[in-house]
Structure 1
């Protein structure tokens, strides 16, 4: 069995100029090393710069701890790479605002590696109400359990860059962060998914909640969930969509008409003027929120900006037709009947600017409008919403660019 390997080439800590009467700060130099293979025993990686090779897997019953400020760099020339937390494995990666833990790729090209993939043991509801399913990350692992408060560890001030490797759509594809049936005992705070070629964050069922998320420049959806994800303590989510980009949030529940729903407060979804759909001549995805397959949720203090319709013409050398875009799209009749009319999609304190439509009907079987949300408790447009509240720092800065400049 392969085991994790890391070679230390530079001493981890050097003390300089210190005496009993001198409180000068400790100078800490990074180690140099490599992370690869399977992690089969508890391991702590000191502050350092590491090469990330292959699909590194944290086995069940094992804890990997990463010290703040560490950087992991994959190289797509070496093949598929990613960090996988298997069910009952634990990842403790707690950076700080000024010393984040960064996962990146050598070429700085979107879609170059698999990102962070975490498996928990919390409940899901898949197609037909099934309580387990097979992952779409190419690992073909079973996910779905019964432990609502299961913990897979703690991620704080962690940034993932240039991930979202897609090999076969819906069969072997990766996001910046992929959370499979992750439980509510897991801590997810101050995370950045930067310029990936698929979704920034995707939740596959589970009950975990996440605070202070930045999804910046990802080519598919900024935030995505399915399999009846049920996290209710989510706050401060910011998406900035530029270049190729689809939905701000894609919300679905695999057709299950659930009596529960996730809750997210303090949301800012912004689409830059240069953003175009990932496949402008195919399935056009231009909306801040899209609900389908009985997806639902409760959203409060929401700012939506820049979600405009596509104009007929040429984009990237491709001839495209006009297509509506806007703040809220409902794709299918079942979602309209069960979730809109059923009062399971709720917006309170939402501010919409610089967007072509408030509502977009995805099916000829209904007309989505403000009246759909009556008697008013499910729709609350306002000019006072403030959206996400995030603090700048090195955790939210890439190559000198402050990711919160457009917040």
Structure 2
């Protein structure tokens, strides 16, 4: 049995210093998965670079060289079963970054059995001895002209020029559709220590005319999903083992997310803020400065499951299950949080767990503290637990590292369907 296992820890509490993934003899084997990558590696490879300004269709294996930008009314169609990888580079510039601008669209519709996969080039080289790493594929960015609480000339960190502006007054902005899509080993450092990382899936000023459904983001640098303003709705989202936060909301995002899972792997890499681990299930700010604005960051999340680690000793590598701060607001209905040092924390003037939440349907465990801050006092006391062992909250076995994994009855989004992947090992 030969393994390509996503382990970044030689020693559990020093692992965060490593930005590589090493082999291990103790893996979590939910199902055989890597055979599809070995098979796919024989598909024809199409190199792509620069700007896409007319309708284009991708299939087979696409190799992105640097940044590919879709603009000028063009629609990029990606057929089911297509794999997209990056062309490796040794520079600080991102490679394998797909940007759908305000003037472009994406039509990426996979299927349950043939998802569209953005992934590591190391999984598609036909070599069983190479190991995927976070940051092997820079990510996907969707930009739109839906409302934000920042100027409409704002760009995503590291991208410059009017092609990369986002935000405006078009609540019905339609950036296209992404359905049955996986994004793996994403994220990118651009000018490290100067400009922050690019997230695996970034949605900036994206409007409610856009469709996002059945999307899994795994083993990414920085956050899995990041929403900068806009009001796009999304369904059936999975964030698995990010370096930083699972879901990040800011600059006026006001959409609704229905059926979302955040799942930790305590053997993955973990981000530090100074010497403090700060990976959160949800991180939510109104804006980076925390100022009050006419448009407030206030998502609604229905049917939310955030699963950290089973024991307090592993939990020290994480921050908060839900972290609301800097004038941000959140409405949640039917939510379970377990396996973080703090279950939910609301911090700062103007921040709140909104009174429009169904408090009785919120269940929170924290190793040290279950809930604190504005709005959390309305959660029934029986729904708040603390202790060194995380609560199952009625789930079968929700902790990824602890054997056969199953979050039922909270499996609202086909979390173990054939389109998902949690194990990237080769089984021979």
TM over 0.5: yes
**More off after superposition, 381-390 vs 31-40:** 381-390
The alpha-carbon distance between structure 1 residues 329 and 228, as it changes in their structure 2 partners (threshold 3 A), is same
The alpha-carbon distance between structure 1 residues 381 and 169, as it changes in their structure 2 partners (threshold 3 A), is farther
2:169 corresponds in structure 1 to 146
2:184 corresponds in structure 1 to 161
TM-score, normalized by length of structure 2?
0.70
The alpha-carbon distance between structure 1 residues 35 and 260, as it changes in their structure 2 partners (threshold 3 A), is closer
TM-score, normalized by length of structure 1?
0.74
Instruction: Determine the C-alpha separation between the residues in 2 that align with 1:350 and 1:150.
Output: 32
1:131-183 deviation digits (Å, cap 9, x = unpaired): 55332243463221111011011000111111111233673421110011001
2:206 corresponds in structure 1 to 182
Q: Does 1:94 align with 2:109?
A: yes
> Alignment partner for residue 256 of structure 1, among 287, 292, 297?
292
Instruction: Determine the C-alpha separation between the residues in 2 that align with 1:101 and 1:202.
Output: 20
Q: Which consecutive residues of structure 2, in runs of 5 or more, have no partner in the other structure?
A: 1-39, 123-131, 272-278, 385-392, 396-408
Instruction: Determine the C-alpha separation between the residues in 1 that align with 2:343 and 2:57.
Output: 45
- How many matched pairs? 332
Which structure 2 residues correspond to residues 41-52 of structure 1 after superposition, within 5 A? 41-45=54-58, 47-52=59-64
The alpha-carbon distance between structure 1 residues 73 and 291, as it changes in their structure 2 partners (threshold 3 A), is same
Q: Does 1:192 align with 2:192?
A: no
1:115 corresponds in structure 2 to 139
Contact 1:97 1:157 in 2 (8 A): yes
1:103 corresponds in structure 2 to 118
Which structure 2 residues correspond to residues 353-392 of structure 1 after superposition, within 5 A? 353=365, 355-360=367-372, 370-371=376-377, 373=378, 381=383, 387-391=410-414, 392=416
Which structure 2 residues correspond to residues 46-85 of structure 1 after superposition, within 5 A? 47-77=59-89, 79=91, 80-81=94-95, 82-85=97-100
Deviation at 1:397, TM superposition (A): 1.7
> Alignment partner for residue 330 of structure 1, among 346, 355, 360?
346
Instruction: Determine the C-alpha separation between the residues in 1 that align with 2:382 and 2:230.
Output: 28
Contact 2:207 2:232 in 1 (8 A): yes
Deviation at 1:332, TM superposition (A): 1.8
Deviation at 1:97, TM superposition (A): 1.1
Instruction: Determine the C-alpha separation between the residues in 2 that align with 1:268 and 1:73.
Output: 30
1:348-385 deviation digits (Å, cap 9, x = unpaired): 50123463311246xxxxxx6853x38x8xx9938679
The alpha-carbon distance between structure 1 residues 110 and 98, as it changes in their structure 2 partners (threshold 3 A), is same
* Larger of the two Rg values belongs to structure: 1
The alpha-carbon distance between structure 1 residues 123 and 348, as it changes in their structure 2 partners (threshold 3 A), is farther
Q: Which consecutive residues of structure 1, in runs of 5 or more, have no partner in the other structure?
A: 1-27, 309-325, 362-367, 402-407
Deviation at 1:185, TM superposition (A): 0.4
1:231-251 deviation digits (Å, cap 9, x = unpaired): 03x211101122326010001
Contact 1:121 1:183 in 2 (8 A): yes
1:40 corresponds in structure 2 to 53
Structure number with the bigger relative contact order (C-alpha 8 A, sep ≥ 6) is 2
The alpha-carbon distance between structure 1 residues 380 and 272, as it changes in their structure 2 partners (threshold 3 A), is closer
Give the aligned CA root-mean-square deviation in angstroms.
2.9
